[in-house]
Every structure is written in C-alpha cells, then in structure tokens.
Structure 1
Amino acid sequence: MKLSARNCLKGTIKKIVAGAVNSEIFLELPGGVTITSIVTKDAVEALNLKEGKEAYAVIKASNVMLAVDH
C-alpha cells in the first residue's frame, strides 16, 4: 500500500459503535492511545471491519487549527 498521506498509523480495532448511517470505529494504537474515526456503514461492510482486526488510521490534513482559552 502506498499513500500520499504522511501519517499512517497501524492499530487494532477495539470497538465499533454502529449507527443507522455511520459507525464509530475506535482504533487502539501501540502504547494505548485510541483514535476514533466515523465512517459510513457501507465502509464498515466493504472493509470488513471487525473488533480485534488490524487497521490503519490514515491522516491527511492541509491545516490543523489550535485554540486556547483566554
């Protein structure tokens, strides 16, 4: 697999919360950090996502905004 995205993080699917249209996928990375992704129900089926299966979080963003409280 080759991607133009700079950040490709491998982890294990720990939990899937299925909704009517979208599902929340909780991906645990090495070290215990969890990333949550919201994907369509069709994507869950097409990728055969299941708890315990390995998957990649692919992150590509042109901008990352930060905020602070005053």
Structure 2
Amino acid sequence: MKTSSRNAYPGKITAVIPGSLSDEVELTLESGEKIYGQISHASFQNLSLAEGKEAVALVKATEIMLVADDNEYEFSCRNQFTGKVVKLVRGFVNGEVLIQTPSGMEINATVSLEGVNRLRLERGCTVVAMFKSPNVLMAVKK
C-alpha cells in the first residue's frame, strides 16, 4: 500500500465496540501495542471490519500531540505511547519529530517550532505521543 501517511500501522482487529453512529475498533500491532480508532458505522460496514481481520491504522503526523516530562496530569486520549525522540528536524515554522517506543514502534509528529522549543525537545528525551481515536483512519485490502 502506498500512502502519504508516515504513520501506518498494520495489525489485527482484536475488539469492536459498536455504536449507533460510530464504532470503536481496537487494532493490535505485532508488537502488542494497541491503537484505537473511532470510525463511522457506514465506513465500518463498507470495509467489512470484524474481529480477527487484518487492517492498517493511518494517522497524519499533524494529528500527533506531544507531552514531555508531565507526571502531573492524566489525559483522556486513548492512544498514548511513551518513547524517545530519535530524530528532530527543525524548520522555520515547525519541526518534524520521530519518536520510537521501547518495542520499536515509530511515530512521526509535526509540531510547531514554538512547541518544539517549549517542550525543550532534543534527541534522547522522553515524550508521550498521543492522538485521538477519531483521527485514526482504517484501511483493509480489497
């Protein structure tokens, strides 16, 4: 599959919570990490999603939020992954941040340069990358 998303995570659907307008899908990656997506009921049916089916979760880098060194708050976001910054490219307006979790999962985030500076991001620092379940797109093979 070719996609412009740098965050593409193949896995197996391990749980489905049906709703009246949207459904929640739990996708378990080979590493054991779980990604939660909230998709419309119509899309769920069109993709023929079901437990046990292979799927790919896609998340735009601009939808990734980063939190650094914060033990004071808990967040309602379902998708939270702690990792180390392994690459940081500073631009004039924003920065591209590559985070790697202990299992090897890589998460690409595009963050404003102000955010990069405010969080004092640098290679090797620990951050939490998070994204909301409605920002996850699901893809399946035809």
Deviations 1:6-44 (A, max 9, x none): 111100000101111010000011121211000000000
Deviation of the 1:5 alpha carbon: 0.3
Structure number having the greater helix percentage: 2
| Structure 1 partner of 2:76 | 4
> Rg bigger for which structure?
2
Structure number having the greater strand percentage: 2
TM-score computed with the length of structure 2 as normaliser: 0.45
Number of equivalent positions: 70
Q: Sequence identity, in percent?
A: 34
TM-score computed with the length of structure 1 as normaliser: 0.87
RMSD across aligned C-alpha pairs, in angstroms? Answer: 1.6
Q: Which has the bigger relative contact order, CA under 8 A and spacing at least 6?
A: 1
Query: Which consecutive residues of structure 2, in runs of 5 or more, have no partner in the other structure?
Result: 1-72
Query: Which consecutive residues of structure 1, in runs of 5 or more, have no partner in the other structure?
Result: none
